[in-house]
């Protein structure tokens, strides 16, 4: 039994860990680490064509430059890497598959020389036909991005389709969708598209690798979300034992999924492991204009959704086809597809579900993890389709959603019963706060004002056995050190862990230090992704802190000769009211207690805690059915009050109201931060973000000059952020994740508000000014729906659509 007192425990508003160093500018990110004059610098030679055979690579001119140490090519490091599917090599070998793919790596004494030498490497290609459109790539096999797909190793729960461009095909077959569609009173069929988008973290990517030439041991300092997964992927890729690879993850400047899995580490390692280089550290800094060519992007998305609804307004069935454009690699992109698949009923109770979700290879940069992991794309489509159905059935969109809400005990599309949640209460608050059914005059002359709502739902899309562990060390003065290999990339997890330790151990928050991950010192954690850290690692930290408390109290119990339950820890002081004892934690916790029997007992107190989700069952490959497909869902809703200038297509968000059922807010300051930040990131994606290519697959938006993200002046004037706390059963404090969820529904809520304002439905994101203007023009011509294919240059796409 816990007997502690603290005023800095779970649920308190406290200053965040490491904010002091961040404000002072002293926190060192990977690019800020110093390695002395031995440090070498690498720069990347990139493919200038989207698909082709590499005939020759002429490195002679580059090697002639003073300061150039080495130029490596793909064959020099022929290892395949991948989290779920090993379809990626750090550099192209024999064949390049996208414009910008690394084909060679220059290593030089300084960064400028490396960059200059890159320009002197000549590569000859034989061009092959390329494919950019995911639907065309999936429905025709004229171009195969990975003819060797059948050879790649992959985990059991994904199903690549050899001799096609499908890297994963996830299916849901629940009930009898065909019958339900046959009998339904109303059928709605809609298509929605989302482009590839970029994470836009402010810190680009940076790795430094070094190999000890004698022992062969490798050290990697890297801007990664998941130190242990980097280590795993590299170990498996190069066939190395884990204990010979050390991954140090300094603080990262934003991740949002873009630094999950492994990004550039193997590419940098290729140089560090070269036999002529080994021993010297090699740094690979990716400049802004190369980030999107080197790291994950959010997958492009094409959704065809059919909804069967009866006259009573109850949804009977949904039939989905999702094409996720995963670019040249599905090693990570295979999984957002699954994530969207097993949430393809949305937040609704739909008895019959048929979903086909594909990760489709194209000759573009690779898609992978991005905040929301398949759900922002899916909800950007589904929540608009729900709105369309409500409108056409003349049912209020809030009422339609509530009527069909997936409530406790009803089953998701995998057959898993939904747990308790407060989504209906959240919807009511959003609707009331925005006066959502009340038409209000625009604040700007000549503009049109509208309001819209959308729901969000997401489960952590993790392997069934994704585990966490933590160590809590009690120092000889009562201060505490926590080793939990979560990356605090701004979401504030270390504050949460410190509050958890304070809650369990009764020591003040300020006494608790949490360290950035290092596989050498920290115990294992799978990844800092999936909004899982406060929950999964939170459980491990809680257990480790309890372990310390129990050990500490057991020692005092023997020392004072009282029962454990008469001892309490209050604000860092050990007390026994019965005996009137009142002692500070001192060096005895380190060096042992002289017990009444004269024996020295104790020694340094270390608490450990581990957690693995106990009861997850992978969905059946053919039907997607599983009684517990995921650990839990976080649900929520966002309402948007916006207005649009019909003359230019410009949208201004007046106000957003967003709430999520987080189970328990461990660190309220972070929950608010995640809701505000995710809402703006979601609005930014909605209004302006898209990766664009020319007809040769060359990225036209590589940097912040043309890849625009929201500025201060694009953010809404006000965001009302709130949360409900319906506790989760298997969870440290009933808490569920919220980091990603705020990003899921701002886009469809805005799109629904645009319809409310103008009567026009836009089926293609982003709702850029130009697109909105064109759509409102089309409205004047009597059209009600508007879309622009993301790959307008690929006319075959339209044809492919007819083949559905």
Partner 1 sequence: MRDRKIQLNLNGRSVSLVAGDNTTLLHALREYGLTSLKRGCEEGECGACTVIMNGLPEKSCLILVAEAEGADILTVEGLIKDGRLHPIQQSFIDEGAIQCGYCTPGMVMTTYALLLKNPSPDEEEIKEALSGNLCRCTGYLSIVRAVKKSARIMAGLSEGSE
Partner 2 sequence: MVKSGGTDLIVWLHRSLVNPDCVIDLTKIEQLKGIGLSNGRIEIKALATLNEVASNPAVGEKLPALFQACMAHSDPLIRNRATVVGNVCSAVPSGDVIAPLLCYGAMVEITGPSGDRTLRIGDFITGPKKTALAADEIVTAIKIALPEGKSAGCYIKISRREALDIAQAAVCCTAFESVTREFRISFCAVSPRPVRATEAERLLNGATKMDDGIVEAAAKLAIEAVDPITDVRASREYRLAMIEELTRRAIKSCVEKLEAGGPS
Rounded to a whole number of angstroms, the minimum distance from the CB of residue 253 to partner 1 is: 3
Binds partner 1 (CB under 8 A): choice among 464, 669, 692, 730: 669
Q: Is position 712 an interface residue for partner 1 (rule: CB under 8 A)? A: yes
Candidates 25-33, 48-56, 95-103, 518-526 — which segment interacts with partner 1 by CB under 8 A?
25-33
680 interacts with partner 1 by CB under 8 A: yes
Site string for partner 2, 270-289 (x = CB under 8 A): -------------------x
Q: 494, 602, 542, 489: which is closest to 199 by C-alpha?
A: 489
In the complex, the smallest distance separating the C-beta of residue 708 from partner 2, rounded to whole angstroms, is: 5
Give the max Cα distance, the chain: 94
Nearer residue to partner 1 within complex by CB, 200 or 415: 200
What's the min distance (Å) between Cβ of 652 and partner 2?
Answer: 9
Q: Is 293 in the site for partner 2 (CB under 8 A)?
A: no
- Alpha-carbon distance values, 791 to 374, 747, 786, 797 (Å): 20, 20, 15, 8
Task: Answer for the pair 372, 660: CB distance below 8 angstroms, yes or no.
Answer: no
Interaction partner, residue 253 (partner 2, partner 1, none; CB < 5-8 Å by kind)? partner 1
491 forms part of the interface with partner 1 (CB under 8 A): yes
Nearest 5°: phi and psi at 150?
-65, -20
Name the residue among 325, 326, 308 with its Cα closest to residue 317. 308
* 300 closest CA partner among 330, 324, 328: 324
CB of 711 to partner 2, least distance (A): 4
Q: Which is nearer to partner 2, 110 or 706 (CB)?
A: 706
Examine residue 36 and tell whether it contacts partner 1 (CB under 8 A).
Answer: no
**How long, in residues, is the chain?**
804
Site residue total, partner 2 (CB under 8 A)? 24
712 makes contact with partner 2 (CB under 8 A): yes
Instruction: Work out whether 670 is an interface residue with partner 1 (CB under 8 A).
Output: yes
Report the distance separating Cα 509 and Cα 499, nearest Å. Answer: 6
Contact partner, 394, from partner 1, partner 2, none, Cβ < 5-8 Å per class: none
- In angstroms, rounded to a whole number, what is the distance separating the alpha carbons of residues 502 and 509? 6
Measured from the CB of residue 649, what is the shortest distance to partner 2 in angstroms? 8
Binding characters for partner 1, 250-289, by CB under 8 A (x = yes): -xxxxxx----------------------------x-xxx
- Among partner 2, partner 1, none, partner that 768 touches (CB below 5 to 8 angstroms by kind): partner 2
Mask 644-683, x = binds partner 2 (CB under 8 A)? Answer: ---xx-x---------------------------------
Q: 């004037």: which residue's tokens?
A: 717
- Count of CB atoms situated within 10 Å of the CB of 142: 10
Q: Is 31 in the site for partner 1 (CB under 8 A)?
A: yes
Q: Which does 250 bind (CB under 5 to 8 A by kind): partner 2, partner 1, none?
A: none
Pairing of strands 718-724, 650-661: parallel
- From the CB of 201, what's the least distance to partner 1, in Å? 6
In the stretch 170-209, what mask flags binding to partner 1 with x, by CB under 8 A?
-----------------------------xxxxxx-----
Residue 656 in tokens: 């957003």
Neighbours of 549 (CB within 10 A): 25
Alpha-carbon gap, residue 332 to 570, rounded angstroms: 46
What minimum distance in Å lies between the beta carbon of 121 and partner 2? 14
| 112-171: contacts with partner 2 (CB under 8 A) | 119
CA 596 from chain center: how many Å? Answer: 54
In sequence order, the 6+-apart residues with CB closer than 8 A to the CB of 504 are 2, 4, 542, 545, 546, 548, 549
CB neighbour class for 617 (10 Å; exposed up to 12, middle 13-18, buried from 19): middle
Q: Does 718 bind partner 2 (CB under 8 A)?
A: no
CA distance linking residue 403 with residue 154, whole number of Å: 41
The Cα-based distances of 230 to 288, 449, 480 in angstroms read 22, 48, 28
Comparing CB distances to partner 1, the nearer of 206 and 472 is 206
CA 332 to chain CA centroid, nearest Å: 11
| Minimum separation from the CB atom of position 689 to partner 2 (A) | 10
What whole-number distance in Å separates Cα of residue 430 and Cα of residue 674? 18
Interface with partner 2 includes 778 (CB under 8 A)? no
| Residue 650 binding target from partner 1, partner 2, none, CB below 5 to 8 Å by type | partner 2
Establish if 650 lies at the interface with partner 1 (CB under 8 A): no
On whether the CB atoms of residues 360 and 168 are closer than 8 A, the answer is: no
Q: How many residues bind partner 1 (CB under 8 A)?
A: 59
| Rounded distance between C-alpha atoms, residue 120 and residue 140, angstroms | 38
**Coil/strand/helix, residue 575:** strand
Q: Among partner 2, partner 1, none, what does residue 180 contact (CB within 5–8 Å per kind)? A: none
- Residue pair 341/423 in contact (Cβ under 8 Å)? The answer is no
Q: Which residue has the tokens 């929301």?
A: 372
| Contact flag: residue 421 with partner 1 (CB under 8 A) | no
91 to 130: interface string for partner 1, x by CB under 8 A: ----------------------------------------
Question: Residue 21 interacts with partner 1 (CB under 8 A)?
Answer: yes
363 lines the binding site for partner 2 (CB under 8 A): no
Candidate ranges 58-66, 100-108, 507-515, 674-682; the one touching partner 1 (CB under 8 A): 674-682
**718 lies in the site for partner 1, by CB under 8 A:** yes
Q: Which of 643, 676, 724, 740 binds partner 1 (CB under 8 A)?
A: 676
Contacted by 680, from partner 2, partner 1, none: CB < 5 to 8 Å by type: partner 1
Q: Closest by alpha carbon to 494, among 531, 524, 533?
A: 533
Of 494, 481, 502, the closest CA to residue 5 belongs to 502
Alpha helices per DSSP H over 343-490: 375-392, 397-403, 423-434
Nearer to partner 1, 36 or 239 (CB): 36
Give the list of residues 6+ apart from residue 70 with CB closer than 8 angstroms, or none: 106, 107, 271, 274, 276, 277
φ/ψ (deg, to 5) at 411 = -100, 145
> Is 625 a residue that touches partner 2 (CB under 8 A)?
no
Can residue 24 be called a binding residue for partner 2 (CB under 8 A)?
no
C-alpha 371/C-alpha 257 separation (Å) is 6
Q: Least distance to partner 1 from the beta carbon of 793, Å?
A: 27
**With binding defined as CB under 8 A, does residue 713 bind partner 2?**
yes
Half-sphere exposure of 282 (CA within 13 A, CB side): 35
Query: Binding to partner 2 by residue 706, rule CB under 8 A?
Result: yes
The interface partner of residue 773, options being partner 2, partner 1, none and the CB cut-off 5 to 8 Å by kind, is partner 2
Tokens of 261: 């899995």
Read off φ and ψ for residue 552, nearest 5 degrees: -65, -45
Contact between 221 and 240 (Cβ < 8 Å):
no
Smallest distance from partner 1 to CB 194, Å: 19
**Residue 566 to residue 557: CA distance in whole angstroms:** 8
Stretch that binds partner 2, among 427-435, 503-511, 569-577, 684-692 (CB under 8 A): 684-692
Pick from 396, 703, 725, 788: which binds partner 1 (CB under 8 A)?
703
Which residues, 6 or more positions from 795, have their beta carbon under 8 angstroms from its beta carbon?
none
Q: Which of 56, 311, 438, 705 binds partner 2 (CB under 8 A)?
A: 705
Site of interaction with partner 2 (CB under 8 A): 119, 289, 647-648, 650, 687-688, 692, 700-701, 705-706, 708, 710-714, 768-770, 773-774, 777
Site of interaction with partner 1 (CB under 8 A): 15-16, 18-29, 31-32, 199-204, 251-256, 285, 287-289, 489-492, 669-670, 672-673, 676-681, 703-705, 709-713, 715-719
């Amino acid at each position: 039994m816990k007997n502690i007192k603290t005023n800095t425990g779970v649920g308190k508003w406290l200053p965040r860990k490491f904010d002091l160093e961040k404000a002072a500018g002293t926190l060192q990110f990977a690019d800020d680490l110093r390695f002395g004059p031995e440090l070498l610098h690498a720069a990347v030679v990139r493919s200038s064509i989207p698909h082709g055979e590499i005939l020759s690579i002429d490195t002679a001119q580059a090697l002639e430059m003073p300061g150039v140490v080495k130029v490596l090519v793909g064959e020099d490091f022929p290892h395949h890497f991948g989290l779920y599917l090993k379809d990626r090599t750090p550099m192209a070998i024999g064949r390049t598959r996208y414009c910008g793919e690394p084909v060679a790596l220059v290593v030089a004494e300084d960064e400028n020389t490396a960059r200059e030498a890159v320009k002197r490497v000549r590569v000859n290609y034989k061009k092959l036909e390329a494919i950019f459109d995911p639907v065309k790539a999936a429905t025709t096999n004229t171009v195969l991005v990975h003819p060797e797909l059948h050879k790649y190793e992959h985990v059991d729960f994904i199903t690549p389709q050899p001799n096609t461009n499908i890297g994963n095909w996830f299916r849901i077959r629940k009930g009898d969708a065909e019958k339900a569609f046959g009998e339904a009173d109303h059928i709605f069929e809609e298509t929605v598209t989302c482009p590839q988008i970029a994470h836009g973290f402010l810190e680009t990517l940076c790795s430094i690798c070094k190999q000890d030439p004698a022992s062969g041991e490798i050290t990697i300092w890297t801007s990664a979300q998941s130190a242990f997964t980097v280590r795993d992927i590299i170990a498996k890729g190069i066939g190395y034992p884990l204990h010979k690879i050390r991954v140090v993850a300094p603080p990262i400047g934003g991740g949002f999924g873009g630094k999950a899995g492994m990004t550039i580490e193997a590419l940098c390692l290729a140089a560090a492991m070269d036999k002529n280089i080994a021993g010297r550290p090699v740094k690979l800094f990716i400049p802004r204009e190369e980030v999107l060519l080197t790291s994950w992007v959010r997958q492009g998305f094409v959704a065809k959704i059919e909804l069967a609804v009866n006259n009573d307004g109850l949804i009977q069935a949904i039939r989905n086809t999702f094409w996720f454009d995963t670019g040249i690699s599905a090693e990570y992109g295979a999984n957002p597809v699954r994530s969207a698949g097993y949430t393809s009923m949305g937040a609704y109770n739909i008895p019959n579900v048929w979903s086909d979700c594909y990760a489709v290879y194209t000759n573009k940069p690779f898609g992978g993890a991005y905040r929301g992991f398949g759900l922002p794309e899916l909800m950007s489509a589904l929540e608009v389709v729900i709105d369309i159905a409500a409108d056409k059935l003349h049912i209020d969109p809030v009422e339609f959603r509530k009527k069909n809400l997936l409530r406790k005990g009803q089953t998701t599309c995998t057959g898993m019963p939904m747990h308790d949640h407060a989504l209906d209460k959240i919807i009511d608050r959003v609707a009331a706060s925005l006066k959502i059914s009340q038409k209000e005059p625009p604040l700007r002359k000549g503009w049109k004002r509208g309001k819209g709502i959308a729901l969000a739902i997401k489960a952590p899309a993790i392997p069934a056995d994704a585990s966490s562990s933590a160590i809590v060390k009690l120092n000889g003065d009562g201060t505490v050190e926590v080793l939990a290999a979560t990356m605090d990339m701004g979401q504030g997890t270390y504050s949460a862990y410190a509050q958890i330790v304070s809650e369990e151990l009764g020591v003040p928050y300020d006494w608790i230090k949490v360290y950035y991950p290092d596989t050498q010192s920290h115990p294992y954690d799978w990844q800092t992704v999936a909004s899982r850290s406060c929950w999964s690692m939170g459980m491990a930290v809680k257990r480790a802190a309890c372990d310390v408390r129990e050990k500490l109290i057991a020692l005092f119990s023997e020392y004072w000769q009282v029962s454990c339950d008469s001892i309490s820890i209050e604000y860092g002081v050990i007390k026994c009211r019965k005996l009137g004892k009142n002692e500070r934690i001192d060096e005895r916790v380190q060096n042992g207690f002289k017990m009444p029997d004269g024996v020295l007992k104790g020694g340094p107190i270390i608490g450990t805690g581990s957690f693995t989700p106990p009861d997850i069952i992978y969905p059946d490959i053919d039907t997607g059915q599983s009684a517990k497909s995921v650990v839990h869902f976080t649900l929520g809703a966002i309402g948007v009050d916006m207005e649009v200038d019909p003359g230019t297509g410009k949208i201004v968000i007046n106000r957003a109201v967003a709430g999520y059922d987080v189970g328990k807010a461990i660190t309220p300051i972070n929950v608010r931060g995640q809701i505000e930040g995710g809402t703006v990131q979601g609005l930014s994606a909605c209004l302006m973000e898209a990766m664009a290519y020319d007809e040769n697959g060359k990225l036209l938006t590589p940097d912040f000059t043309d890849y625009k993200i929201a500025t201060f002046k694009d953010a809404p004037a006000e965001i009302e952020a709130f949360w409900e706390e319906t506790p989760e059963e298997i969870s440290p404090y009933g808490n569920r994740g919220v980091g990603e969820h705020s990003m899921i529904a701002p886009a469809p809520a805005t799109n629904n508000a645009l319809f409310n304002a103008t009567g026009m439905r836009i089926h293609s994101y982003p709702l850029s000014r130009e697109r909105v203007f064109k759509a409102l023009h089309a409205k004047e011509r009597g059209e009600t729906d508007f879309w622009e294919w993301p790959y307008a240059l690929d006319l075959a796409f339209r044809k492919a659509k007819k083949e559905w």
